[in-house]
A and B are shown apart, each in its own frame.
Chain A
Amino acid sequence: DQQVKQNSPSLSVQEGRISILNCDYTNSMFDYFLWYKKYPAEGPTFLISISSIKDKNEDGRFTVFLNKSAKHLSLHIVPSQPGDSAVYFCAASNDYKLSFGAGTTVTVRA
C-alpha cells in the first residue's frame, strides 16, 4: 500500500526560477514529513522537515508547506540552482519508520 505518493516523476525548471514539488499521503498518523535529496551513486540526504502540527517551515531557499486537510505537502525551492538537480523524495514518519514516495527528478536548466 503506497501511503506516500509523488505523482510527478520529473520536473524541469530554468535556473533562478521556482521549483515546486508535490506529495500526497493517506495516513493521518504520520507525525513528521520530510524531503530527502539524492544524487547518483549517493545515499539520500535530509533536506528539510515539518512537524504535523505546523503548516510551514522555511530554511534558506527551501520551504515546505503542509495542508493536513488535503493530506498534501509541497516543497518550494527559490531560486533554483544547477546544484539542485537531483532526485527528491518525499517521506512521512510514524513509529521510527519512514514511508517514501517514488521520487521526482529535478533538472535545473542554465
Chain B
Amino acid sequence: DTGVSQDPRHKITKRGQNVTFRCDPISEHNRLYWYRQTLGQGPEFLTYFQNEAQLEKSRLLSDRFSAERPKGSFSTLEIQRTEQGDSAMYLCASSPSGRYTGELFFGEGSRLTVL
C-alpha cells in the first residue's frame, strides 16, 4: 500500500498525558498537512509543511501542540497535557510538488479520546 499511513489509528489517554501521532506521506510528495476533525464537522486545517519547513500554522494549534517533519519525510504531531477538548480525529494528508490545486491525499486518521 503506497498511500498515506498514520499511526496509531486509535489512542485513548487520560487528561494531562502527552500523545504523539506519526504520519508517513506518499513517498514522492513534498507537501504534508495536518487537519483535525470533530464529530459532525468537516476537517479543520492545523498546519502545513513543505519538505521539512513548517510554513503555516492555524491559531487552533495552541502551544500544547507541536508538529515536526525532520528530513522532509515522516511527520509527528505531539499534544502535551491533553485536554478533553482535544478528542478528535487527527488527519494527515500529502500532496505533490507543482501547482497546488487543493487535491490532497488523506490518511485514515488517528482517533484520539481523552478521558
Count of A interface residues, CB-CB < 8 Å = 27
Instruction: Check: A82 CB closer than 8 A to any chain B CB.
Output: no
Instruction: Check: A59 CB closer than 8 A to any chain B CB.
Output: no
Give every chain A residue within 8 A of B62 (Cβ-Cβ): none
- Given A89-B43, A91-B42, A103-B42, decide whether A98 and B108 contact each other with a Cβ distance below 8 A: no
Q: Which residue of B lies closest to A41 (CB)?
A: B108
- 29 CB contacts below 8 A, A to B, read A6-B42, A32-B101, A32-B102, A36-B106, A41-B108, A42-B108, A43-B93, A43-B106, A43-B107, A43-B108, A44-B106, A46-B103, A46-B104, A46-B105, A49-B101, A49-B102, A49-B103, A89-B43, A92-B102, A93-B102, A95-B56, A96-B48, A96-B100, A97-B56, A98-B43, A100-B41, A100-B44, A102-B41, A103-B42
Binding site for A on B (CB under 8 A): 4, 31, 33, 35, 40-45, 48, 55-56, 58, 91, 93, 100-109
Binding site for B on A (CB under 8 A): 4, 6, 32-34, 36, 41-46, 49, 51, 89, 91-93, 95-103
